[in-house]
């Protein structure tokens, strides 16, 4: 039987519209669910990363202050500081890794009669790359600001809107806008783009509610001991290390222990130690995608039922084919291929529907949570089509086997 004949026979299977719709419904839902859920999960993961208020790059290691053990509380030690970041940046053992420090304190900012709770954050020119920050207007802090210890700042989108009002472009057009924080007057030189917020909006530790100032000015005015709340170490991608993260963690810990007089009053976090979130996300992906697989199995049962009905309706045709010399193997392959073609048709419709619904969902979610990228995972399309084909073959095997076992004489007698 030629491929055209096979397509003609498969078309006959779904010729009855109501029966065809019920037959393909499970396959369409299953394949579409796989594409839709994978697309939403990919877009949601990117939205969460953009909405994150911390640096979450996979090649980044964070060092934070931590409580010391009871035995070390009476020992002399040093707090985490910018000097630690400089020591790590200058370490040859780290192979050119970059190290940045950050200090922050919640406070209140005032501009004219308007006031707002903010977080004052020390920053360096490398901060935009570290936190994936974008400017809506003005400029970011430069090396000249740090060298001269200028009292300039870059404000979050919400800080600008509530203290100054108007579009952020006004920050670039205005001659000089100032705000008062911690008893000092800061000149606004830039405004950050709106950072979408997913989840709770409480607290000031959000980029929309932060004010960034040069770290040298911050230390001179607010933190003469140069204390740091976080130190970030980013490995150099050009340097090949046999075990990159483990090697970096070992060098960092040894360097800091030497500087802190052997007292471990810090904790080191990286992608390995923060793997719990990735594990949870992976479990969620597996559970959601399994719903699509279950729908495909249900669709496969429908395909088997309709193929059994088709074998009964075409019993006389099978007898004629056997009488003119068709082998049982040829009959089996014919009905097996028809079942696979019908199931694959449902898979194609499901994949196209999944792409369309995911695009529409992305547009709606973009209005609710801000930017939402429309993404279709190629593996989800291949998985949806592949599983549809496999389901058709598996659940079409029994009806095809029954058709192949029909005796030619008995089949010819069927009405």
Q: Which of 221, 255, 273 corresponds to the end of one domain?
A: 273
How high is the pLDDT of residue 131?
77
Q: Which of 273, 291, 306 corresponds to the end of one domain?
A: 273
How high is the pLDDT of residue 352?
92
DSSP secondary structure letter of residue 94 = G
Residues 99 and 18 in one domain: no
Residues 68 and 33 in one domain: no
Task: Provide the domain count of the chain.
Answer: 2
Rounded to whole angstroms, how far apart are CA atoms 11 and 3? 12
How high is the pLDDT of residue 243?
47
Residues 225 and 320 in one domain: no
CB neighbours (10 Å) of residue 377? Answer: 16
Residues 112 and 167 in one domain: yes
Q: Give the burial class of 324: count Cβ atoms within 10 A of its Cβ; 0-12 exposed, 13-18 middle, 19 or more buried.
A: exposed
CB neighbours (10 Å) of residue 402? Answer: 17
Residues 213 and 296 in one domain: no
pLDDT in tens, 4-38: 555 555 555 555 666 667 778 888 888 888 888 88
Residues 245 and 332 in one domain: no
Q: Please list the pLDDT of the chain residue by residue as tens digits (415 residues).
A: 555 555 555 555 555 666 667 778 888 888 888 888 888 887 777 666 555 545 555 567 888 888 777 666 677 677 888 888 888 888 777 766 778 888 989 999 998 888 999 999 999 888 887 777 888 888 999 999 999 999 999 998 888 988 887 766 655 555 578 899 998 999 999 998 887 665 545 555 578 888 999 999 999 999 888 888 888 887 665 555 544 566 777 888 888 888 888 888 888 876 555 555 567 667 777 877 788 888 888 888 888 888 888 888 777 887 887 788 778 888 888 888 888 888 888 889 999 998 998 888 888 877 776 667 788 888 888 988 998 889 988 988 888 888 888 777 676 766 5
Residues 313 and 340 in one domain: yes
Residues 7 and 76 in one domain: no
Give the tokens for residue 206: 């959000």
Residues 231 and 379 in one domain: no
Rounded to whole angstroms, how far apart are CA atoms 265 and 261? 10
Instruction: Please identify which residue in the block is written with the tokens 């901060």.
Output: 127
Residues 122 and 171 in one domain: yes
Can you give the residue range of the structural domain that contains 138?
Answer: 60-273
Q: Which of 230, 252, 273 corresponds to the end of one domain?
A: 273
Q: Give the burial class of 94: count Cβ atoms within 10 A of its Cβ; 0-12 exposed, 13-18 middle, 19 or more buried.
A: buried
Rounded to whole angstroms, how far apart are CA atoms 79 and 71? 17
Rounded to whole angstroms, how far apart are CA atoms 306 and 309? 5
Residues 102 and 116 in one domain: yes
Q: What is the CA radius of gyration of the chain?
A: 32
Picking from 6, 23, 26, 2, the residue whose alpha carbon sits closest to that of residue 14 is 23
DSSP secondary structure letter of residue 168 = T
Give the tokens for residue 328: 């049982």
Instruction: Please identify which residue in the block is written with the tokens 């669709």.
Output: 299
98-102/60-65 β-pairing: unpaired
CB neighbours (10 Å) of residue 411? Answer: 20
Coil, strand or helix at 95? coil
Residues 141 and 19 in one domain: no
pLDDT in tens, 207-260: 888 899 999 999 999 988 888 888 888 766 555 554 456 677 788 888 888 888
């Amino acid at each position: 039987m030629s491929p055209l004949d096979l397509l003609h026979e498969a078309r006959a299977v779904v010729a009855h519209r109501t029966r065809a719709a019920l037959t393909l419904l499970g396959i369409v839902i299953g394949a579409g669910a796989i594409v839709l859920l994978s697309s939403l999960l990919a877009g949601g993961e990117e939205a969460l990363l953009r909405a994150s208020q911390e640096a979450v790059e996979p090649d980044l290691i964070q060092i934070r202050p931590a409580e010391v053990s009871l035995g070390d509380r009476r020992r002399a030690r040093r707090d985490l500081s910018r000097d630690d970041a400089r020591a790590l940046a200058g370490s040859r053992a780290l192979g050119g890794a970059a190290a940045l420090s950050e200090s922050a304190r919640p406070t209140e900012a005032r501009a004219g009669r308007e006031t707002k709770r903010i977080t004052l954050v020390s920053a360096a020119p490398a901060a935009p790359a570290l936190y994936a920050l974008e400017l809506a207007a003005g400029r970011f802090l430069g090396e000249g600001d740090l060298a001269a210890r200028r009292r300039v700042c870059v404000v979050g989108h919400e800080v600008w809107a509530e203290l100054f009002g108007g579009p952020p472009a006004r920050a670039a057009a205005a001659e000089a806008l100032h705000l008062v924080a911690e008893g000092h007057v800061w000149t606004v030189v830039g405004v950050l783009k709106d950072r979408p917020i997913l989840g709770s909006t409480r607290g000031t530790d959000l980029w929309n509610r932060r004010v960034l100032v040069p770290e040298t000015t911050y230390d001179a005015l607010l933190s003469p001991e140069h204390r740091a709340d976080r130190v970030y170490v980013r490995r150099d991608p050009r340097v090949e290390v046999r075990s990159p993260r483990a090697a970096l963690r070992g060098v960092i810990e040894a360097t800091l222990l030497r500087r802190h007089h052997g007292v471990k009053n810090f904790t080191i976090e990286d992608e390995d130690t923060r793997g719990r979130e990735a594990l949870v996300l992976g479990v969620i992906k597996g559970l959601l995608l399994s719903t699509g697989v279950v729908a495909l199995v249900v669709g496969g049962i429908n395909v088997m039922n309709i193929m059994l009905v088709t074998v009964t309706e075409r019993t006389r045709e099978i007898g004629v084919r056997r009488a003119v010399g068709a082998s049982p193997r040829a009959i089996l392959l014919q009905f097996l291929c028809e079942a696979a073609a019908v199931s694959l048709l449902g898979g194609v419709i499901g994949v196209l529907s999944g792409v369309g619904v995911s695009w529409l969902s992305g547009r709606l979610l973009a209005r609710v949570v801000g930017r939402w990228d429309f993404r279709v995972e190629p593996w989800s399309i291949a998985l949806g089509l592949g599983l549809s084909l496999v389901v058709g073959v598996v659940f079409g095997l029994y009806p095809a086997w029954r058709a192949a076992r029909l005796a030619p004489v008995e089949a010819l007698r069927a009405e």
